[in-house]
Structure 1
C-alpha cells in the first residue's frame, strides 16, 4: 500500500522518484526523472506530458534541441490515388452462385421466464435477443470471402528501437504472409512526421515481396505523432480509386502523442467515424502507451482497443485481429424489434457500445451492430412491460425480431425474421425463487453487470480512490459467483470471476493502475461492450459459449472471450510460425547513460 505522502511517479517511465536520482521539476510543478525528460525534450517535445502546459524553461540536453517539423495537412500533400486495382470477378461469381447464399444469420429470442400467471403483470421483463453470423465460407474448398483493404499505421519513434521493432516487423510480416492475392495492404509509419512506406497494393507474390522489403527497411527514431499517422492512414483510404468490400486501419504505438495540445478525440481523422468509415483497431504496446487515447480512437471509429502487455504476443494479437477481418460475413447489421401484443412496451435496451433506439411510444426498438465476423455472436437484453392477460389468453406474444444486413461476398441485402418471443399464461405460475429462469438470460445479465462493474471501478481508480475500485470489482466478482449460472458452474461466469479478480490486483494502488491497470481495464471494457475478442496471451485457454476464456484464475494477459473459429485458427497459425509458441528472448537493456548538465534551478536530487 502507498502512503498518503508518497511522491508522484515519473509520468514518462512511471517509475518511482527515489533517493539519489536526478529529477527535473517543471514550471507546472510536475516531476520527472531527468534522463526521461531530457530524451523527450531532445525529440522536440515542449509540453508537459501530464497537464499539457507549454514550458518556457527546458532542461539542458547534450546537443541542440530538435524542434518538430511543421506537420503537412493531408489535404495539401500528394494524393494517394495510385492504389492497385481490385479484383471483382470473385464477388460477381459468388453473387451468381445460389450456394453462396445458403448461410443466413441465426436469430433467436429467450424470455427470462417461461410462464407468467395470467392475472399478473410484469415491469422490466427481460428478453434476450441472440444473433449469430453464418459460418465462415473459408472453411470450404474454393469458397469465396470478402477481400480486405488494410492500412497499418506503425509507431517508429525512438522508443521502438531494438527488440520492439524486430517483433513488430515479424508481426507485420506474418500479416503479409496470410493476406490473399485479392487483399490489399498499405504501410504508414509515423514518428515526428508520418509517411506512406507502401502504396495500397494487392498481396500477390510480387506484392508481398515488395511489402516485406518496405517493412524490413523501417528504422525507429524521433518522437510520437499519432495524430499525423492516423491522418495519413485515413488519407490512403480516402484517396483510393478502387475499394474492396472490407476496410480497416490497424494502429500500433508504445508511446504518447506529444505534438499538439489536443483532446484524445481530436486524434481521430475527420473522415473516420463509426457511421461513414472503416474502424481503427488500436494496439497499445507495453506500459508507456497512452491507453486512454488509444481507447478513444477505437471507440470513436467502431474499432477495438487491445492491450499488448507481453511484447512476445504482438504477432498473436495481430493474428487474432486479422483472423476476424478476413472473415467479415455481414455489414450494416441492424436488429429491429416490434411489439407483437398491444399491451407490451419496450422500456430499454442493454446494447453495450452499439447504438440503440426505442420509439417514443415503446412499440419498436432497434440496435445498429455494424460488421459481424463469421460465427460471431451478439447478445442484447431488452426490457419490456407485460400486461395482465385476458381470461382465456394462454400465451402472450411479446416481440417480433428481424435482422437486416448486407452479405459481404454476394453484396446482397438480406432480411431475416427470428423467433417470436412468447410467454405462457397459465392461471397460476411459480413466482420468486421458485420460478424457472432462463440460463441464457441470466448469463447475459451477469455479463452486463460485470462490464458495468469494470467501468465503475475504472472511474473510481481515475479519481484516485483505489480502495473503492477494488471493492467494486470484488463485489462484482462475488455477484458473479452467487448468480444462478455461476452456482451451476457456467464457464463464462468462471471466466468473468477470473477477470474481475485479476483486475482488482491492477487497481490496488496508483503505481500499479498507471502502469498496467488502466490499459487492462480499458481493453476489458472494449471487449465486453463490443462483444469482440481482443488481445491474446501465450497460454492455453478453455472454451466458453463466448469463445476462448482465461486459462486460470488471476492469469495476467489471458485471452479475452468472444474469439471466433477464424480468429482462433489464425492465432494457432501464428504460434506455430513462431515455433510452438516459444517466446523470443528479450535483449538486455543497455546501461543507463548519465544525465547531461542541466540548469541549476531545475536539477536536484531526491532526498
Structure 2
C-alpha cells in the first residue's frame, strides 16, 4: 500500500517539479524524486493503477531551476539563508530552493519574497525566469477547496515545495503607453513641443475638383446702421444709437462633383490657420463609467479632426494633474499616440481644477514654437476640492482670477482663451464661468452625457476656422458737437477718450463668417439752418490675417443722417432694435441671476417675465425677427429653471451662465441637453461650427454611427401656456 507521500507525488506531478523529503513510511527507494507526469499518468494514479506509471526522470542538478531537499552531509552546517539569516542545516525538515543562479534559500522564505512581487535573487540580483510559489494551504482545504487534492494526503506547507515557470509578459497597451510614451515623471520645463510643420500639406494643383470660392469677400465687412435715418433739424438727440456690424471673411473651398473627400479635407486645412490646442480633462472618481467613456469618444473625434499642422497636448487632472504627452503635431503617428493616451485614462481621486489649468497654461507658456491660434479646452463635472480650504469655506467660491496663471489672464501679453465645459448637475458653474470670462473664452453647459462630443465638435469647428486675429475697431466722432457717450461691447474691451472724440473696441479673433455687433451712443446736436445732413462718426478697423500673417487696414466709413425741417414718420432701424433687444435681454439675465443667488427666485422670475413682455412689443419682434424669437424662448427657459431652489441649483445657474457667456462674446455655446437645430443654438453658430456639429452627429470616431444623445428627464415643471 502506497504511503501518503507517494500519493502526494502523484497528485502534484502534473506539469510541476516537486521535491519531497523522504519519510520513514515511504517504500520508495532512498533517492530524491523529481517527476513530470502526463494527464494519463495522473488519471491512472488516481485509480490506483500505480504500476502503469512511466519511468521518472533523473533529479535535476543544483544548478538547474529546481528546489531540492537538503541531504545529510551534502552541505555545510554553517550555511545560512540570505533572507532570514537562519541555518539551513540538512535534515531538519526544511525544504530548500536552489535558484538558476545557484543560490539557495529556505523555500518558505523565498516563496514569501516572490509573493510580494520580487523576482530577483536577493544575493546576486539576477533576474529569475522561474520562481517558487506556495502550494494550497491547509486553510484552503478546510474551506471547500479540497477538490484540488485528488488523493488523500496530508498537507504540510513546510514540506510542500512547488516551482512555477514565469509566463511571458503580457503586453498591456495602456501600461506600456503610460510607462514609455507618457511617463509619470515630467520635465521641469515643457519646452519639448514638436516643431511646427515646415511644409504644410497642399491640395493637388492638377486636380480641377477643388476651387477657391472667390465670390465672397476676403476682408472683414463693415456696415453701419443709425437708429433713425433722419432727425429734425432743430432737435437734439441724446444717446443716439449707431450700430457697427462686422462680418469675418469666409474663404471655403468650393467642391466640384469630382472632388474627393480627402481633397476637400486638405483644402480646408490649407485655407485656415493651424492651432495649438491643450485639453484639460477631469478624470476624478466621479467621471467613472459612462462619463469617462463618452469623454474618450469625444476626444477621439477631436483628434481625428485635427490636421497634420495642428498640435495637441492632453492634461488629465484629478487630485493632481499630469501631462499625458507633449505638444505634438497630429500627423498619423501623432494621432495614434494621442488616441492611445486618451484611451489609457482611468478615473480616481478628487478634483483639482486650478492645478490642471496651471499645467495646461505651462504647456502654452513653455512652447519653443507657436502656431497662430492657441486655446485651452477645460472639462469638469465636479466642484474643485483642493482650491477651497478650511472647514468653514465650503460655501466660499474660489477666486480663480487670482489663482490662474498670468498667461490665461492676459498678463503675459498674449491671452490664452479657455473654453470651459461644465458637465452634469454637480459641477461648479460659477467657477467654470469665471475661468472662461477671465481668459476670454466661453462657458458651455453640458447637461446630458451624450452631448459631450457634439459640444466639443461645435467648439473646434470654430477654432479650426479662425480667419481674423487681433481685430481692433476704431471709432471717431466727426461732428465737433457730437461726442461719443457710450460703447456697448459686452465682454470686449472698449474705451472712450476723455473728450469723447475717439473710441475703440478690441475684438480679437473671429471665426470664418462670424459676426459682431456693437452699439455706439452719440449725442446728436441741433443742426444749423440750411444743413441737409450731419455726419456723426467714422469707423475703421485693423487686423492680422493668421494665414498670410499680414496686417490689414480698412479705411473708415462714415455714418450720416438727414436733417430735414420736419420728419413726418420716424421708424427705428430693425437692425439697431434687434441688437438693443439682445443687450437688454442679457442685462435682464444678469439681474435675474443676481436675485436668484440672493435666494429671491420670485423676483428673478419677475425680471425675466417683464423683459419678455417688453421684447414682444419691440419693433423687431413685431416684424418677426428670428433673434427676438430666440431670445423670448431663452428667457422662458430660464424662468422654468428658476421655478424652485432645487431646480436652480441643479441646472438653472449653469444654463443662465452659459447664456450670459454666449451673449457677452456673441459666440455659440452648448446649453442644456440638446444641440439639435434650435433657433437659440443658431443665433451665433457659424457655418464651420454647423458643419463640424453635423459631422459629429452623423459619424463618431472610426466612422461609426453616432448614437442618439441620452437626455435626462427635465427636473422642472413646464409652465402653463397662456390662453
Q: TM-score, normalised by structure 2?
A: 0.66
Change (3 A) 1:397 1:131: same
Residue among 346, 352, 361 paired with 1:234: 361
Task: Spell out the pairing of 1:183-222 with structure 2 (5 A cutoff).
Answer: 183-222=310-349
- Deviation (angstroms), 1:371: 0.8
The Cα of 1:418 is off from its aligned counterpart by 4.5
Residue 688 (structure 2) pairs with residue 566 (structure 1): yes
1:406-417 map, 5 Å: 406-417=544-555
In the TM superposition, what is the alpha-carbon distance from 1:506 to its structure 2 partner? Answer: 1.0
- Equivalent positions of 1:379-458 (< 5 A) are 379-430=517-568, 434-458=569-593
Describe the superposition over 1:45-72 as per-residue Cα deviations: whole angstroms up to 9, x where unpaired. xxxxxxxxxxxxxxxxxxxxxxxxxxxx
1:17-32 maps to which residues of 2 (within 5 A)?
A: none
Stretch moving more, 76-85 or 400-409: 76-85
Matched positions, count:
492
Structure 2 distance, partners of 1:101, 1:238, is 37
Q: Which residue of 2 aligns with 1:79?
A: 189
- More displaced stretch, 337-346 vs 320-329: 337-346
Give the secondary-structure state (helix, strand or coil) at the position aligned to 1:272.
Answer: helix
Q: Deviations over 1:310-351 (max 9, x none)?
A: 111100000000000000111111110001112211000111
1:145 partnered with 2:289: no
Question: Against the structure 1 CA distance between its residues 525 and 91, is the aligned structure 2 distance closer, same or farther, given a 3 Å change threshold?
Answer: farther
Which residue of the other structure, out of 443, 462, 482, is the alignment partner of 1:324?
462
Q: Does 1:489 align with 2:616?
A: no
SS in 1 for 2:696: helix
> Quick one: distance in 2 between partners of 1:581 and 1:265?
38
Q: Give the Cα separation in 2 of the matches to 1:585 and 1:230.
A: 29
**2:478 corresponds to:** 340
Question: For the pair shown, which has the larger CA radius of gyration, 1 or 2?
Answer: 2
Query: Does 1:272 find its partner at 2:408?
Result: yes
Query: What is residue 461 of structure 1 aligned with on the other side?
Result: 596
Equivalent of residue 504 in structure 1, options 639, 648, 667: 639
- Does the 8 A contact of 1:82 with 1:199 survive in 2? yes
Tell me: CA distance 1:586–1:388, structure 2 relative to 1, closer, same or farther (3 Å). Answer: closer
What CA distance in whole angstroms lies between the structure 2 residues aligned with 1:110 and 1:358?
20
Question: Would the aligned equivalents of 1:163 and 1:586 in 2 still touch at CA under 8 Å?
Answer: no
Q: How does 1:287-366 map to 2 (within 5 A)?
A: 287-366=425-504
- SS of 1:573's equivalent in the other structure is helix
1:116 offset after TM fit, Å? 0.7
Whole-angstrom distance in 2 between the partners of 1:527 and 1:586: 22
Q: What is the distance in 2 between the residues matched to 1:512 and 1:540?
A: 23
TM-superposed deviation, 1:539: 5.6
8 Å contact from structure 1 (residues 91, 409) kept in 2: no
Q: Mark the CA change 1:512 to 1:486 in structure 2 (over 3 Å): closer, same or farther.
A: same
Contact 1:534–1:560, Cα closer than 8 Å, also in 2: no
Structure 1 residues 196 and 313, CA gap change in structure 2 (3 angstroms): same
Shifted more, 516-525 versus 384-393: the winner is 384-393
How far apart are residue 575 of structure 1 and its match? Answer: 0.2
TM-score normalised to structure 1 length: 0.78
Equivalent residues in 2 for 1:1-20, closer than 5 Å? none
**Does the 8 A contact of 1:230 with 1:267 survive in 2?**
no
Deviation at 1:561, TM superposition (A): 2.2
Q: Is the 1:265–1:293 contact (alpha carbons within 8 Å) kept by the matching residues of 2?
A: no
What CA distance in whole angstroms lies between the structure 2 residues aligned with 1:180 and 1:539? 25
Task: Give the superposition deviation at 1:100.
Answer: 13
Q: Which residue of 296, 301, 324 corresponds with 1:174?
A: 301
Quick one: distance in 2 between partners of 1:422 and 1:328? Answer: 33
Distance 1:196 1:139 in 2: 39
| 1:583 pairs with 2:694 | no
Secondary structure of 2:341's aligned partner: helix
1:231 is paired with a residue of what secondary structure? helix
Whether contact under 8 Å (2:451, 2:709) holds in the other structure is: no
Q: In 2 relative to 1, CA 105–250 (structure 1 residues): closer, same or farther, beyond 3 Å?
A: same
Q: Deviations over 1:254-279 (max 9, x none)?
A: 00111133423234222212452210
In 1, are the aligned partners of 2:216 and 2:251 still within 8 Å (CA)?
Answer: no
Tell me how far apart the structure 2 counterparts of residues 425 and 535 of structure 1 sit (CA, whole Å): 46
Change (3 A) 1:138 1:157: farther
Alignment of 1:25-64 (within 5 A): none
1:109 equivalent in alignment to 2:224: yes
The answer to whether structure 1 residue 128 and structure 2 residue 264 are counterparts is: no
Secondary structure of the corresponding residue to residue 485 of structure 1? helix
In 2, Cα distance between equivalents of 1:101 and 1:576? 28
Q: 1:520 to 1:585 in 2, by over 3 A?
A: closer
The verdict on how the C-alpha distance between 1:522 and 1:514 changes in structure 2, with shifts beyond 3 A counting, is: same
d(CA) in 1 for partners of 2:202, 2:305: 23
- Contact 1:136–1:327, Cα closer than 8 Å, also in 2: no
SS at match of 2:242: strand
User: Does the 8 Å CA contact 1:137/1:145 hold for their aligned counterparts?
Assistant: no
Bigger relative CO (Cα 8 Å, ≥ 6 apart): 1
For the residue of structure 2 that corresponds to 1:396, the secondary structure is strand
Seen in structure 2, the aligned counterparts of structure 1 residues 217 and 529 have a Cα distance that, compared at 3 Å, is same
Q: Secondary structure at the match of 1:397?
A: strand
- Answer whether contact 1:167 1:312 (CA < 8 A) is retained: yes
Contact 2:415–2:440 (Cα < 8 Å) also in 1: no
Distance 2:227 2:658 in 1: 30
**2-structure distance, mates of 1:423, 1:178:** 49
Partner in structure 2 of residue 524 of structure 1 = 659
Do the aligned residues in 1 keep the contact of 2:448 with 2:710 (CA within 8 Å)? Answer: no
Q: Relative to structure 1, is the Cα distance of residues 92 and 174 closer, same or farther in structure 2, using a 3 angstrom cutoff?
A: closer
Q: Residues 138 and 245 of structure 1: is their aligned pair in 2 closer, same or farther, counting only changes over 3 Å?
A: farther
Which whole-Å CA distance do the structure 2 matches of 1:416 and 1:90 have between them? Answer: 29
Q: Is the 8 A contact 1:535 1:560 kept in 2?
A: no
Contact 2:273–2:546 (Cα < 8 Å) also in 1: yes
Q: CA deviation at 1:564?
A: 0.3
Partners of 2:705 and 2:292 lie apart in 1 by: 22
Deviation for aligned residue 1:450: 0.3
SS of the residue aligned with 1:523?
helix
CA distance 1:586–1:571, change in 2 (3 Å): closer
Whether the 8 Å contact between 1:149 and 1:244 is mirrored in structure 2 is yes
1:437 aligned counterpart, secondary structure? coil
